[in-house]
């Protein structure tokens, strides 16, 4: 299909003690918002690492369209607590993703992009605040802004809302959904939060110990989800 961004072919990962992703086959269309769900240890982060090219599958492959080289991937990690005394301002932290990462040396187009992403992530007013003094939700928006600097075609969030309070969780996903709809960036979000996944995604991939389900999000039955640790 013309508008696919990636497809997996019989993907499998064999660790010493465990095999995950039993012959996983799914295809993701450009512009879609996919939530990957499933209980702890079922292989969600493993799949993300394979897509990012950090881990080689023991069997099968991931195909990118038109090619891996042509696709920019932005990655938003799981919430990490940043020390209160972390010295960089929000703006300087976001700018770390540019080649010339320190403010005085940013190229004009990088400065322009920085202003744009700060606005897109609602951080304009906070840009000169020390990142260490901002709230959890604001820090996570700064990670999102960093991932957006190079205008990714694919944005991957790996439990990016874990450890945020319910309001900040919803704000972050609402923002990502808005960017997804406005810019057409394809989104893969790993989450344990089924209600939020249902609220904001188009598709789901439910990984299970013995298999998987893939389809439109309205077909995800909450009863089929075997729990998984609920992060608050």
Ligand X SMILES: Nc1ncnc2c1ncn2[C@@H]1O[C@H](COP(=O)(O)OP(=O)(O)OP(=O)(O)O)[C@@H](O)[C@H]1O
Query: Which span sits near ligand X by CB under 6 A: 2-10, 12-20, 88-96, 98-106?
Result: 12-20
Cα–Cα distance measured from residue 102 to residue 93, given in angstroms and rounded to the nearest whole number: 9
The verdict on 40 binding ligand X (CB under 6 A) reads yes
Q: Closest CB to ligand X among 45 and 183? A: 45
The verdict on 191 binding ligand X (CB under 6 A) reads no
Q: Closest CB to ligand X among 5 and 48? A: 48
The residues near 109 (Cβ < 8 Å, ≥ 6 apart) are none
The verdict on 42 binding ligand X (CB under 6 A) reads yes
Q: Residue 176: in which H helix or E strand, if any?
A: helix 166-183
The verdict on 227 binding ligand X (CB under 6 A) reads no
Nearest to 6 by CA among 155, 144, 221, 228: 155
Q: Residue 91: in which H helix or E strand, if any?
A: helix 90-94
The verdict on 41 binding ligand X (CB under 6 A) reads yes
The verdict on 111 binding ligand X (CB under 6 A) reads no
The verdict on 105 binding ligand X (CB under 6 A) reads no
The verdict on 20 binding ligand X (CB under 6 A) reads yes
The verdict on 43 binding ligand X (CB under 6 A) reads yes
Q: Closest CB to ligand X among 210 and 218? A: 210
The verdict on 19 binding ligand X (CB under 6 A) reads no
Q: Residue 45: in which H helix or E strand, if any?
A: helix 44-52
Burial of 62 (0-12, 13-18, 19+ CB in 10 A): middle
Q: Closest CB to ligand X among 132 and 228? A: 228
DSSP-assigned letters across all residues of 122-170: T-GGGTTSBGGGS-HHHHHHHHHHHHHTT--SEEEEESTTTTS-HHHHH
Q: Closest CB to ligand X among 22 and 45? A: 45
Residue numbers of the site for ligand X (CB under 6 A)?
15-16, 18, 20, 38, 40-46, 228
């Amino acid at each position: 299909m013309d508008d696919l961004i990636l497809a997996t072919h019989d993907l499998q990962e064999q660790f010493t003690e465990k095999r995950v992703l039993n012959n996983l086959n799914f295809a993701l269309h450009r512009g879609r918002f996919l939530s990957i769900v499933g209980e702890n240890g079922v292989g969600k982060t493993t799949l993300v690492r394979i897509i990012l090219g950090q881990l080689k599958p023991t069997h099968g492959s991931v195909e990118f369209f038109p090619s891996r080289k042509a696709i920019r991937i932005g990655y938003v990690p799981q919430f990490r607590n940043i020390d209160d005394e972390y010295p960089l301002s929000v703006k300087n932290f976001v700018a770390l993703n540019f080649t010339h990462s320190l403010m005085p040396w940013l190229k004009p187009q990088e400065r322009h992009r920085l202003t744009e992403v700060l606005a897109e992530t609602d951080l304009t007013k906070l840009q000169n605040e020390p990142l260490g003094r901002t709230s959890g939700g604001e820090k996570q928006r700064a990670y999102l802004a960093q991932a957006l600097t190079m205008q990714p075609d694919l944005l991957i969030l790996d439990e990016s809302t874990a450890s945020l309070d319910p309001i900040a969780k919803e704000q972050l996903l609402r923002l990502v959904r808005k960017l997804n709809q406005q810019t057409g960036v394809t989104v893969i979000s790993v989450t344990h939060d089924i209600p939020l996944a249902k609220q904001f995604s188009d598709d789901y991939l439910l990984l299970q110990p013995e298999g998987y389900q893939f389809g439109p999000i309205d077909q995800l039955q909450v009863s089929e989800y075997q729990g998984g640790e609920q992060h608050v």
